[in-house]
Structure 1
Amino acid sequence: MLTVELFYASAKLSPKIESFFLSLFSGSASSSRIFMADAMLSSVLALLLISSCTHRVESSAEEEGFIWVEISNKGLDFAKNIFINTAESSLVPLELPDIEKSVDISVLGTVDMILSDITINAIQVTSSTVSTADSGVILTVYGATANLSMNWKYSYSTWLLVPIQVSDSGQASVQVSGMEIGLTLSLKNQQGSLSLSLVKNKCSVKDISINLEGGASWLYQGVVDAFEGKLTSAVEDAISSKINEEVAKLDSLLQSLPKEVPITSIATLNVTFVGDPVINKSSIALAINGLVSARDEDEDEDEDDTLFQNHHRALYNLIPSKGPDYMFTIFLHEIVIKSVLSVYYKAGKMHWIVDEVPDQFLLNTARWKFIVPNLYKQYPNDNMNLNISISSVPNIEIKEQQIDVTVTADVIINVLNDTEAVPVACISVEITGSAFPEISSKDVTGSITLHELAMSLVWSKVGDLNIPAIESIVLNVLRTGVLPYVNSRLGQGFSVPAFYGYTLQNTEILCSDSWIMVSSDVAPTNLDSGSIRTTTFS
């Protein structure tokens, strides 16, 4: 029986949040079972980066978790199977030290025996379970078997007028059954990284069967009597020692993981862990900071701290809405999206030159002959382009079933006179709309709607502009030309990439009060992904 308990140091939660966690995670299991470092690192990271819940610290943004992931019992069981399969191959081959012993054999006297080149070649796990408790995560593997190979040799002295040295050697195979292993692992947050330590490590073997190839008839019982106990202890000690070694390697790898991950050429994601993992009998959850910042730049000291206060309150209503049968659930706060927009705005990436539109005649002065007569008079039948610059960081607000967006921009109208672009006017534009994200057939899809369009003149070199008339025309173009095209593209969706050979299955997305929640199962990419459904809630 292999038992793994994953303990955590109590997180520094407020009493209200701590109470919330106790009720929140009372119905979904979790566990982290870790054997081999290199081979299992990807699986462990996938598990750890798929968990969720809520944790509140005082107002500093750097101490907040804006992305939470929760792994349910179902998800832990899935991960457990991956870990067990990996461990079966990662633990072997495992070499054991030689064993020597002298035994008394009737008639022959004292016989010196040695077992050498003892190697565990295969381990098979026949049954395993995973569960959680308030103290940690428990992984149980029992009834495991192992196959060993080894060489044997014996020698003894006898008298036939003169002393004679008698010896023989050969090979043997060993079958171990009923193997049980118990581990207790501690997983804590150490300065923003995950620290893994082994608290308890116990291995026991119930039965061992030795099959000798060659040798005298008396040899079998002699080897069994002499070495059964020592061989059993050697197997138990070797496996325990190997687990100690691999857990230490894995802890070193976890400690070495970067706390910032580049996601584009100008932006990095803060993946610093916040607080200790939250574990009880229903699930395991942990948080990362989740904010995006400019690469190689410190976060602005004058960031508006009001953004980072009380942002977890909405989870009180959101978490109960998630289905209990999903492997994992990810919660993403709107501040994460705002941090991305802020980085791109400050980097000057929200600036475009538009010289093609669905109705290309709109970018010719002749189209505006009767609305802006001075424009046509000064630049008859000239083409134009639009120099669009976002004038402030776009604002998003996640609400029930939708994401509201407000964008303000300055639009400079340029007339293309020969090869020169002549700026003739600047209009301030504010657009408000809503996005409706969905997930369908392994694709992220959605739609957008336009609520309002407001314009005001900033400056003009062609006299006063009829802003209401321009606003009406642009609004009509957006609603009849641009939005249908954009929604058609969004409706086709964007494929969700596979991750280490696995893909999402039966996925659900919810939006509510500043949070986006994605719940899903995971399946190998070579299997039918099944249905993926979209749900909203009231």
Structure 2
Amino acid sequence: MATTFFFPVLILLSVFHSIHAQSVEESFISVDLFKKGIDFGKDLAVKKGISALIPFQLPQIEAAVKIPLIGTVYLTLSNISLNEVNVSSSSVQPGDTGLILIVSGASASLTMNWGYRYVSVLVISDNGTASVQVENMEVGLAVSLNNEEGNLKLTLLDCGCIVNDLFIKMDGGASWLYQGIVTAFESKIRSAIEVSIVEQIGDVITELDSLLQTIPRAVEIDNVAGINITTVNEPVLDGYSLGVEINGLFMAMGESHVNKSVVTNSTKTIQSLVSCGVPAKMAGISIHERVLNSASSVYFNAGVMNFIVRNQTFLNTVHWKHIVPRLYKKYPKADMILNISASSPPVITVTSESIDAAINVEMTVEVLDEGEPVPVACILSMFTISGNPSISRDAIKGSIILNDFTMHLKSSSIGRLHIGMVKPFIEIILRTVGIPYVNLMLSWGSSLPGFMGYTIHNARFDYVDSRIIMCTDFHHVKKV
């Protein structure tokens, strides 16, 4: 139960804020959680925390009470169970040293068994049940979030609970004992509730910190690449947002050069790189173009940026006999294959309006001669494309356009090719077949990652200073 209680606090602590501080390792991804997002996480944390807390057993309470004319009565409360908690008001505020969460006006219902015994000439005992109603309960806690060698460390700075009003209703037993039990046990019940809740919160924070320490320095994307999620610089919490910077660069799987983040103090003014304006959003995510270029480099070096095009209607020499007559003359009515591969990592640039990419491609044209592929020409091309991401129905989608491309002949076994004649035909194929096919694939989208059943929602994109800025809300994803 302690593991899940206040687990959603991770929503408040796993989102990030960019700062202008100096460190040995740079950061390229930053995320700001704004006031709207902080309140969203707070409400979720309180809701999930209450559901995980109930039912909650308090320790048994014992006391000895002297009652006039009766003597010493030994009283016991057992099976004390917290069955219901309602919160009327809560608030969270990023402070100078951490996050402050305050719950006020809370009420709680408890049930318990009571019993007594006293000794005169005979041993006399009795027992029954009781219900306890707690009103105007207040809970407050302050936590700090620090960067400890590249991992986030969560520490409970302070925690307190105050039960202002307590009402006990007895069932069973001797009526003359009622007031004695109320007098003897009210302060003990009050204290037990306060101490138990504080201890429970302390255990939860410790377990959450242990969970944070298990977060790896790199997250696997696929069997080729992973992303370095080492924390860089100290997290920043102010009156408006909270967050942290991470390295964010892609790396080849198997690489072990993820450095520990070394943080130095800085007196520079803290300023968020993410500005979302109005309408207010829960979070802002900033991704530098170097993240995209690091992915480009990793996948290029892995040798996965190549593909083969075959079994297409236009890939037969009969369709090229007027454009490349020597090809048709040497290989009449022969099927063709295009072997396309990137000759260098694509260079990605984030402009003020889109994400642009320059892709250098080497296209080898092969002809099937008696079933065997024979290279006949190699053409060097550079494509420039622009794209824009979008989010719809819990999936990230996108579209691209072809801006321009160039072609140069590298080698040929069928004589000199007139590139000026070939290029328009290739452009028609690209614009009418290639780009629409890519956009069809992008329109299907990829499912967005979720956390505890929540994912980003109603996101909008902007491009500022070589960074992609995504301003977003969160919402619950219904299970199908």
- TM (norm. structure 2) is 0.90
Q: Is the 8 A contact 1:36 1:87 kept in 2?
A: no
How far is the alpha carbon of 1:496 from its aligned partner?
4.4
How far is the alpha carbon of 1:262 from its aligned partner?
1.0
1:455 & 1:374 partners in 2: Cα distance? 19
- What is the match of residue 428 of structure 1? 380
Indicate whether 1:223 and 2:175 are aligned.
no
Report matched runs for 1:82-481 at 5 Å. 82-158=44-120, 163-298=121-256, 319-320=274-275, 322-323=277-278, 325-357=280-312, 360-361=313-314, 363-440=315-392, 444-481=396-433
- TM (norm. structure 1) is 0.81
Q: Is the 8 A contact 2:276 2:284 kept in 1?
A: no
Q: Taking structure 1 as reference, are residues 100 and 418 closer, same or farther at Cα in structure 2, changes over 3 Å only?
A: same
**Structure 1: 4+ residue segments shifted above 6 A:** 315-318
1:445 & 1:334 partners in 2: Cα distance? 18
Residue type of the alignment partner of 1:177 = E
How far is the alpha carbon of 1:132 from its aligned partner?
2.9
Q: Taking structure 1 as reference, are residues 335 and 296 closer, same or farther at Cα in structure 2, changes over 3 Å only?
A: same
Q: Is the 8 A contact 1:38 1:250 kept in 2?
A: no
Q: Identify the range of structure 1 (258-267 vs 133-142) with the bigger mean alpha-carbon deviation.
A: 133-142
Residues 493-537 of structure 1 deviation map (CA, whole Å, 9 limit, x = unaligned): 55646553334333211123311111111222359xxxxxxxxxx
- What is the match of residue 523 of structure 1? 475
2:387 & 2:444 partners in 1: Cα distance? 15
- How many residues end up aligned between the 2 structures? 469
Residue type of the alignment partner of 2:205 = V
Residue type of the alignment partner of 1:482 = G
How far is the alpha carbon of 1:384 from its aligned partner?
0.4
Q: Is the 8 A contact 2:5 2:50 kept in 1?
A: no
1:220 & 1:64 partners in 2: Cα distance? 68
- Percentage of pairs with the same residue: 42
2:241 & 2:41 partners in 1: Cα distance? 13
2:129 & 2:388 partners in 1: Cα distance? 69
How far is the alpha carbon of 1:476 from its aligned partner?
2.9
Indicate whether 1:37 and 2:3 are aligned.
yes
1:511 & 1:92 partners in 2: Cα distance? 46
Q: Is the 8 A contact 1:55 1:65 kept in 2?
A: no
Q: Is the 8 A contact 1:293 1:299 kept in 2?
A: no
- What is the match of residue 456 of structure 2? 504
Q: Taking structure 1 as reference, are residues 40 and 450 closer, same or farther at Cα in structure 2, changes over 3 Å only?
A: same
Residue type of the alignment partner of 1:402 = S
Coordinate RMSD, CA, aligned: 2.5
Residues 65-92 of structure 1 deviation map (CA, whole Å, 9 limit, x = unaligned): 2111111111111111111011112223
Q: Taking structure 1 as reference, are residues 235 and 436 closer, same or farther at Cα in structure 2, changes over 3 Å only?
A: closer
Q: Taking structure 1 as reference, are residues 247 and 441 closer, same or farther at Cα in structure 2, changes over 3 Å only?
A: closer
How far is the alpha carbon of 1:490 from its aligned partner?
4.5
- What is the match of residue 267 of structure 2? none
Q: Taking structure 1 as reference, are residues 526 and 266 closer, same or farther at Cα in structure 2, changes over 3 Å only?
A: closer
Q: Taking structure 1 as reference, are residues 51 and 119 closer, same or farther at Cα in structure 2, changes over 3 Å only?
A: same
Q: Taking structure 1 as reference, are residues 177 and 479 closer, same or farther at Cα in structure 2, changes over 3 Å only?
A: same
How far is the alpha carbon of 1:146 from its aligned partner?
1.8
Q: Identify the range of structure 1 (137-146 vs 126-135) with the bigger mean alpha-carbon deviation.
A: 126-135
Please state whether the residue corresponding to 1:371 is helix, strand or coil: coil
